[in-house]
Every structure is written in C-alpha cells, then in structure tokens.
C-alpha cells in the first residue's frame, strides 16, 4: 500500500474517532496501534508498554503541573484585582485609555500563569464589568480581552512551549528566551491597534472623569509589587541560570501561595480547588502527550514521516512556500482542536519536513505557538471564546467577530517573524553566544 493511502487511512480514522467524541489521547493511541498492526511488522504490545512507560516520567514535564497550579492559585487570589488597580492610573490618558488594561494586564498575567484560558478568565473577571460600566464599546472590550489573552500561550512560562519542548526534545529554557521579543512584539501590535482605533474614531472611547497625580500613580503602583516579585522570581531564576524551568515552577508555586495568603483573600478551601483543577488539567495534558508519543513511535515504524519528508524534499518547496502551506493547515486544524492537541498531533509528522528544509526548531516552536494562538479565537473550538462567553453570556460568534482584528494581527506577527527571524533567534543566540 502506498504512503499517501496509508496516511489518508490513518487520518480518516483519527478524524472519525475525534468526531465520535472519543478522548484525544485514546484516539491517538488507537491510530498508533492501527498503524503498527496493519502497516508494520513491529511487536505492538511491547512498543505500547515501553513507550507509555518511557514517556511517563519525563523530568522536563514536571514543570507543567507546577506552572498550571501557580496559575490556578493566582486565579483565585486578590493579586489579579491589585494588578488591574495598579495599571489603571497609568493608562487613563493613553489613546484608548483603560482598554490598554486588557492588553497589558493580559501580558503581565501571562508571565505568571502560562495559560491563555486562565489569563482570559482572570483579567476578564475584573475588566469586563469595569469597562462596561464606564461605557467602553462591547466589541473593543471583548476583542482586546480575547486577543490579548492569547499571549498566555507565548509569554513565558508558557505551558504550550513546555509541551512543544518535550514533544520535540528542544531546550525549554531556550524556547522561553526565544518567546520574549515575539511576546513584546504582539503586545505592541495589540496596543497599537487600540490606539489607532481611538485616534481614528475618538467617539468610541468615553471621556475620562478621573484624574491622577503622579503621587497617586506611584501609590497605586505598589499593588503591582507582588506580581513583579513573582515574575522576577520565576522568570529571573530561569534567565539568570539559577534554576531550571522545573525548579522555577516549584518556586513559583511557593511564591504564588505565599503572596495569595498575604493578600488576605486566600483560604484552604480555595487552595484545595486550585490543586484539584490543576490536577485535572495536568492529567489531561499528560494523557494526550502519552498518546502522541505512542503515535510518533508507531509512525516511525511505518516509515511514514521519513517518506513524507523525502517527498516534500523532492518537491523542492521553498521555505516560504512550506510555511504558507503549514500556516493554512494549522489555522484549519485549530478551528477544531485545542492548541496542545494541535502540537502533539502534528509534530511527529511535521518536524522531519521542517528540519529537511533547514528551519530552526526553536524558531519553528515560536512560529507554531503564534499560529496556535489564532485557534484560541476562532470558532467552533476557540477556548478563549468559550471562557469569555462564560463570563459575559454573549453569543460566541459575536465574540469571534470582535476578536477578528486580533486574529489578523497575529497573522501579521507570523509574517514579521518569517521576514525577520532575528526577532525570535536573537536572544537565544545572545544567551548561548
């Protein structure tokens, strides 16, 4: 049987399993088993056992549940409210005024949560009622929140970068460093869009009644100190070479718990809720990674990735043509799967192609995360859309329409890092050089 027929058969099986509502991890394992049984002579039972056992105790993966727990603790503490109140006085006179709280608040919270959904829920819980009360347009409130919350996938400590690093055996610390400048670039694009809308249509933004003296701004900034300490402790320890991502994640949990406790709003009951929620999320991701690892190994036995990479190589596609094709492919796939599933489903097949044409795996990781960010704000399976719908009760397609300009800005971000790859590679090369 030819490789295209094998690939199509396995893809059809996977789509059918997912359409039936079977868990992603189980679907991946079934497809992997089908590949071994029908398209190879390998001992399937032995491979299942060795793969599941070998990939179930990855030290690098230990950072994942710890960062998730840190985000869950912050989600239930008063630190997020303090962050909003600390930012608002400084942004009151900027073009777009308090809409920038969504942009910069999401960027800051992304740096301590690592999760897009947690960022949308936390910042949205504070900003949506406040901005609505002040008369800001719904489309911009929802759009800035949905778009900016995607930064939770990119800005370190990004959970999805950890997943990519484990799946492709890349340095998680280097991926975190590579994500800094692209994260700042996207944050600047979002803030620039808000400012542009405010300049071109001043009537959109309500008049500001409050006025803050410099002393009042400084006093309000004290509320940002706990968050700054947390970011400095976690990210600074990684970039300073003092701790691995796993060690830094453990430090982050300790600091987040301590700061939440000192804020006076954190209880043992909330801590228990945070642990249970983090456990459920971590187990889901771990199962998906085990299924993906088994699929990757089984595909290796069928020879499909190697042959597919050779086929792509024989087509003599340029790097640009390959990236355009992959971008379209990932955008379509992201309409139906969450970001982590997209990465673990595709890396075993895509990485041989990527390395065959000479694309840096670190750069490709950042590119892939930005493209996956788009899937967070595209129906029908945009996680940020679901989170914001739960917060506001607004129809999901109305939310998607409000977020569409930010989808285009993310697409512009992909174009910028493709034309200027140094945006991604400069800091990792500087740190290792």
More confidently predicted of 362 and 315: 362
The boundaries of the domain holding residue 97 are: 3-432
Query: For position 368, what pLDDT does the model report?
Result: 92
Helices and strands in the chain: count of H runs, count of E runs:
23, 0
What's the mean pLDDT in 286-309? Answer: 73
What value does the mean pLDDT of the chain take? 81
- Mean pLDDT across the stretch 9-20? 81
How far is residue 163 from each of residues 64, 272, 368, measured CA to CA in Å?
8, 25, 12
Residue 43 binned pLDDT confidence (cut-offs 50, 70, 90): confident
- Give pLDDT tens digits for 48-76: 888 888 777 766 667 778 877 887 787 77
Angle of the 99-113 helix axis to the 116-133 helix axis, nearest 10: 160
Q: How far, in Å, CA of 287 to CA of 270, rounded? A: 26
Per-residue confidence (pLDDT) for residue 362, from 0 to 100: 94
Given pLDDT bands bounded at 50, 70 and 90, which one contains residue 2?
A: low
Residues 348 and 166 sit within 8 Å (Cβ to Cβ)? no
The total number of structural domains in the chain stands at 1
Q: What is the mean pLDDT of residues 102-131?
A: 78
Confidence of residue 209 (pLDDT cuts 50, 70, 90): low
Q: What is the pTM of this model?
A: 0.75
Q: What is the pLDDT of residue 187?
A: 93
The pLDDT of residue 263 is above 90: no
201 pLDDT above the threshold of 70: yes
Per residue in 340-355, pLDDT (tens digit) is: 777 877 787 788 878 8
Distance CA 330, CA 343 (A): 9
What pLDDT score does 60 carry? 61
Kindly state the tokens that stand for 310. 């050779």
| Residue reference for tokens 């004290």 | 222
What mean pLDDT is predicted for residues 182-206?
A: 90
Q: pLDDT tens digit string along 277-292?
A: 888 877 877 777 788 7
pLDDT of residue 310: 64
Our CA angle for 269, 340, 165, nearest 5°, is 100
Residue 261 has pLDDT above 80, yes or no: yes
pLDDT category of residue 142 using cuts at 50, 70 and 90? very high
Q: In this structure, are residues 101 and 88 in contact, taking their beta carbons and an 8 Å threshold?
A: yes
pLDDT of the residue at 336: 63
The tens digit of pLDDT for each residue in 370-381 reads 998 887 788 766
What percent of the chain stands above pLDDT 90?
A: 15
- How do residues 220-230 score in pLDDT, each as one tens digit? 777 778 877 88
pLDDT at residue 432, as a whole number:
67
Nearest to 409 by CA among 31, 36, 99, 148: 148
| Res 186: pLDDT | 95
What pLDDT does 58 receive? 67
């Amino acid at each position: 049987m030819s490789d295209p027929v094998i690939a199509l058969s396995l893809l059809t099986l996977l789509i059918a399993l997912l359409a039936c509502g079977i868990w992603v991890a189980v679907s991946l394992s079934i497809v992997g088993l089908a590949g071994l049984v029908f398209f190879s002579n390998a001992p399937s039972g032995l491979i299942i056992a060795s793969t599941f056992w070998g990939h179930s105790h990855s030290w690098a993966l230990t950072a994942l549940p710890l960062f998730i727990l840190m985000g869950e603790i912050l989600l239930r503490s008063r630190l997020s409210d303090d962050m909003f109140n600390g930012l608002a006085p400084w942004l009151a006179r900027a073009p777009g005024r308090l809409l920038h709280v969504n942009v910069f608040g999401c960027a800051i919270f992304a740096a301590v949560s690592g999760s897009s959904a947690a960022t949308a829920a936390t910042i949205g819980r504070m900003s949506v009622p406040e901005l609505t009360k002040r008369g800001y347009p719904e489309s911009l409130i929802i759009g800035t929140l949905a778009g900016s919350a995607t930064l939770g996938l990119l800005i370190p400590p990004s959970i999805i970068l950890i997943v990519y690093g484990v799946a492709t055996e890349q340095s998680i610390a280097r991926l975190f460093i590579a994500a800094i400048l692209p994260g700042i670039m996207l944050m600047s694009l979002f803030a620039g869009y808000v400012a542009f809308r405010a300049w071109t249509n001043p009537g959109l933004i309500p008049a500001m009644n409050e006025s803050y003296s410099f002393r009042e701004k400084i006093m309000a900034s004290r509320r940002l100190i706990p968050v700054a300490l947390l970011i400095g402790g976690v990210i600074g320890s990684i970039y300073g070479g003092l701790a691995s991502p796993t060690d830094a994640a453990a430090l982050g949990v300790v600091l987040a718990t301590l700061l939440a406790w000192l804020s006076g709003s954190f209880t043992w009951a909330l801590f228990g809720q945070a642990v249970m929620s983090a456990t459920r999320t971590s187990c889901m991701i771990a199962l998906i990674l085990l299924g993906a690892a088994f699929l990757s190994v089984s595909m290796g036995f069928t020879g499909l990735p190697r042959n597919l990479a050779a086929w792509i190589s024989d087509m003599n596609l340029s790097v640009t043509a390959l990236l355009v094709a992959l971008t379209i492919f990932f955008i379509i796939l992201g309409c139906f799967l969450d970001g982590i599933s997209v990465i673990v489903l595709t890396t075993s097949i895509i990485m041989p192609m990527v390395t065959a044409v000479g694309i840096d795996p670190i750069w490709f990781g950042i590119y892939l995360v930005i493209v996956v960010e788009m899937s967070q704000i595209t129906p029908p399976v945009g996680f940020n859309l679901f989170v914001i719908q739960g917060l506001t009760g607004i129809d999901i397609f109305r939310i998607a329409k409000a977020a569409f300009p930010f989808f285009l800005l993310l697409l512009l971000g992909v174009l910028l890092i493709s034309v200027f790859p140094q945006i991604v590679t400069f800091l990792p090369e500087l740190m290792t050089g």
